[in-house]
Amino acid sequence: MNSLSCVKQSLAILGACTALSTANAQQKPNILFILVDDMAYNDIGCFSYPGNLVGADRLVPAPYPEKSAFAAPNQAVATINGKVVTLTPNLDRFATQGVKFTNYHSPSSVCSPSRIGLMTGRTPARFGLGGIIAESNTAGLPTREVTIPEALKGAGYATAAFGKWHLGNGEQHDPTRHGFDHYWPATGARATELERLTNLALKYIEENKGGPFFAYFAPHQPHHPNIPHPDFAGSSTKLLGPRSYMKGDGTTDTQIAVTSDYHDVVHELDFRIGQLLKKLDELGLSKNTIVVFTSDNGPWTGQTGAKNGKPGIIGTGYPYRGGKFEFWEGGTRVPAMIRFPKEIPAGVITDAPVSGLDWFKTFIMRGGGTVPTDRKLDGFDLWPFLTGLPRSSSPRAFIPHERGKNILAVSNEHFKQFDDRLVNLQTDFTELVDVKTANGAVTAQMSKQLADANTSLAEEIPGLEKFSEQEIITDTDSLRYIEITRGGKATFKVSLCVEPDSNLIVNLHQRSGSSNLKMFPASLVFTKSDWKMAKTVTIKSDKKTDSVQEYATFEMEGLKSMPIQELFIRIHK
C-alpha cells in the first residue's frame, strides 16, 4: 500500500473545535500572525532610515565593501508639497497602536530556517537547517516537534494557515499534520495570489469570530519576482515618484531613479493588511486580538539582478549591511510590531533585543496552552516585558545569529560579538571594526554568551525528519478527533499502514490538556505477523474534568524517522 492510500485512512493531525463556553472562549485572545517574505528593515514608512534608531542623527553610511545595489533612506515615504506621503499608511498606523521593535531579529536570514524557529521556539541550528527546504528534499519539520498551533489546540483554539509553509514536502510535513485545522497554500499566480489569500483569511475570521483562533497569514510577497495586482501596478511611482537608489561598489555612490515593482507590491501588501485589520474592527474583535506583523528575513541581495547592481527589484535593510543568507544585521533585523489594546500599551518604540524565537512561548502561555518541558527551547515569554513597557526590560539578553550548524555571533542593543571581534552596531554598519580592546568587560561577557549558546545547542540536535510511508490507521469516523462525554469513555482501533521492518512500539502519550483524561494501554506492540490486526485503545474521562479540550499523541518509539500521529479528544459536558 503506498503512502497516499494510507493517508486516506490514517489519522490526520488536524485540530478539534473548542468545547469551551462562549464566555470562557472570549477570555482567550485571538491571534493573527502576519509573516511577509523577504521584506527588509527599510521597506515600511515607519521604519525607513533613520526612523527611530538610537543614534540616527549620524551621517549617511558609506557604501559597503561588497558590490551591492541598495536603496537610499526613506524609500517608502516622500514629502510632496510639504506633506509626508507613505506607501504603507496601514502599517504606519498600526505601529502607533502598539509596540514597534527597532531591534527585532528573525530566527534566521533564510525562509525555511526562520519559519522552523518561529513555529518551534528552537533555533534552526538545532535542526541543522541553514538553507531552504527544496521541493526535492524528503526531510522536513519533525512530527515530534510541538508547534504554536499544535499547543494552542490543547487550549481550545481553531487554527488556520494561509500562504507559504516551506517546512517540508512530504505528507507528514503538511501544516495540517502540525496543528493547523486548515491550510490554504499559495498558488504561484503572483498577480492575484495576495488578493485570494486575503479574501480567504477575511472569510475565516468571519466564520471564527466566536474565537479563539490562531490565524497564520504568510504570503509570498514581497519575495522576488514581484508582480503586483493590476490595481497596484505602477502605484508606488504614481504616489511617490521614482525611487532613488544608491549603487555601492566600494568606490562609487551613484543616484539612480527607477520605477519599482517591488514597492508596488509593498503598497498592495499594506492595503491587504489594512483589509484584515478593518475586518477585526467591523466584527468587534480588535480589542481581543493579538496582531503581530513581521518578516521572515531581510532582502535577497544575492538575487542575480540585485547582485549585478540592478535597483528596484528587491527591498533593502539600509543602513544595515547584508541580507538574505547572511548573518550581517541586514539579514535578520527586520520590521516587527505587535498590537493588543487590552494589555499592551500603544505608541511604544523599543530597541530591546527581541527574536522571532520568542513568539512560541509568548503565544502559548498567553493562550493558556502547555509549553513543552522535555526539550531545549531558545525563546522567551515576552508578555511581562510587553505589558510592562516602556519601563520593563526584555527577558532576552542577546540575539543569536546562526547559519544552520552553530551560533556565529550574538548581539544586543549596542554591540555584536563574533569569534574574532566585537563591533559597535550604532557606529559601524560594516560590522568589521574591532572595538574589543576598548570594551574588555563587554567582549568578555558576550564571548561567554556566545560560547554558552553553542554549548546549549550541542546538547540537543534533533535534526529534520525524513519522509516515511509508515502511518497509523484508525477506525474512527472522524479523522480529526474523538468525542467523549464527561465521565464517559470511548474506544477506537489502531493498525499500521505498511509492514514494519521489526517489532514496532507505539507509545500513547498525551502532549497537552488536563490530566483528567486517560488513555490505555500505555503502548501497543506490532510485529511483522500482526501489523494488520487492529488493536483496541480506550479513552476515559474523569467526572471532575472541565470542558477544556485535550489530545493525545501516538509516538512510534525507536524509529526516529517515523512520523508521530496525533488524535484530538473533545470532551462534552
pLDDT tens string 536-549: 988 888 766 555 55
Would you say residue 66 has pLDDT above 90?
no
pLDDT, position 475: 76
pLDDT class for 510, splitting at 50, 70, 90? confident
Cα 287 off chain centre by: 23
Which of 55-69, 118-132, 360-374 shows the lowest mean pLDDT across its residues?
55-69
Which of 240-249, 373-382, 414-423 shows the lowest mean pLDDT across its residues?
240-249
pLDDT class for 558, splitting at 50, 70, 90? low
Which of 196-205, 412-421, 513-522 shows the lowest mean pLDDT across its residues?
513-522
163-212: pLDDT as tens digits: 999 999 888 899 998 999 999 999 878 999 999 999 999 999 999 999 99
* Cβ count within 10 A of residue 4: 9
CA–CA gap between residue 49 and residue 216 (Å, rounded): 28
Query: From 3.40.50.1220, 2.60.40.10, 2.70.98.10, 2.60.260.20, which CATH number describes the 470-572 domain?
Result: 2.60.40.10
* Cβ count within 10 A of residue 543: 8
| The domain made up of 22-400 is a member of CATH 3.40.50.300 | no
Would you say residue 365 has pLDDT above 60?
yes
pLDDT, position 12: 31
Would you say residue 3 has pLDDT above 60?
no
Q: Strands 348-350 and 99-101, how do they pair?
A: parallel
- 298 burial type by CB count under 10 A (0-12 exposed, 13-18 middle, 19+ buried): buried
CA–CA gap between residue 209 and residue 207 (Å, rounded): 6
pLDDT class for 407, splitting at 50, 70, 90? very high
pLDDT, position 437: 97
Residue recorded with cell 521541493: 135
pLDDT, position 215: 98
Q: In the numeric block, which cell numbers belong to residue 303?
A: 538575487
pLDDT, position 561: 56
Q: Which residues contact 92 (CB under 8 A, 6 or more apart)?
A: 44, 45, 46, 86
| Polymer length of the chain | 573
Which of 16-20, 188-192, 530-534 shows the lowest mean pLDDT across its residues?
16-20
Outline where 145-189 has alpha helix (H). 148-153
Q: In the numeric block, which cell numbers belong to residue 336?
A: 516587527
352/471: higher pLDDT: 352
The mean per-residue pLDDT over the stretch 226-231 comes to: 95
**Cβ atoms of 25 and 313 closer than 8 Å:** no
**Cβ atoms of 344 and 338 closer than 8 Å:** yes
Would you say residue 51 has pLDDT above 90?
no
303-362: pLDDT as tens digits: 888 777 677 788 888 888 888 999 899 999 999 999 999 999 999 999 999 999 999 999
Mean pLDDT (the chain) is 85
| Closest among 464, 518, 425, 529 to 103, alpha carbons compared | 425
549/215: higher pLDDT: 215
Residue recorded with cell 542575480: 304
**Cβ atoms of 376 and 126 closer than 8 Å:** yes
Amino acid at 226: N
The mean per-residue pLDDT over the stretch 474-481 comes to: 61
Residue recorded with cell 520593563: 392
Which of helix, strand or coil describes residue 173? helix
CA–CA gap between residue 234 and residue 83 (Å, rounded): 21
Boundaries of every domain in the chain: 22-400, 403-459, 470-572
pLDDT, position 508: 81
pLDDT, position 52: 60
pLDDT, position 250: 44
Residues β-bridged to residue 423: 416
Domains 22-400 and 470-572 share a fold: no
In Å, what is the CA distance from 5 to each residue of 31, 170, 171, 218, 483? 35, 14, 11, 30, 25
pLDDT class for 301, splitting at 50, 70, 90? confident
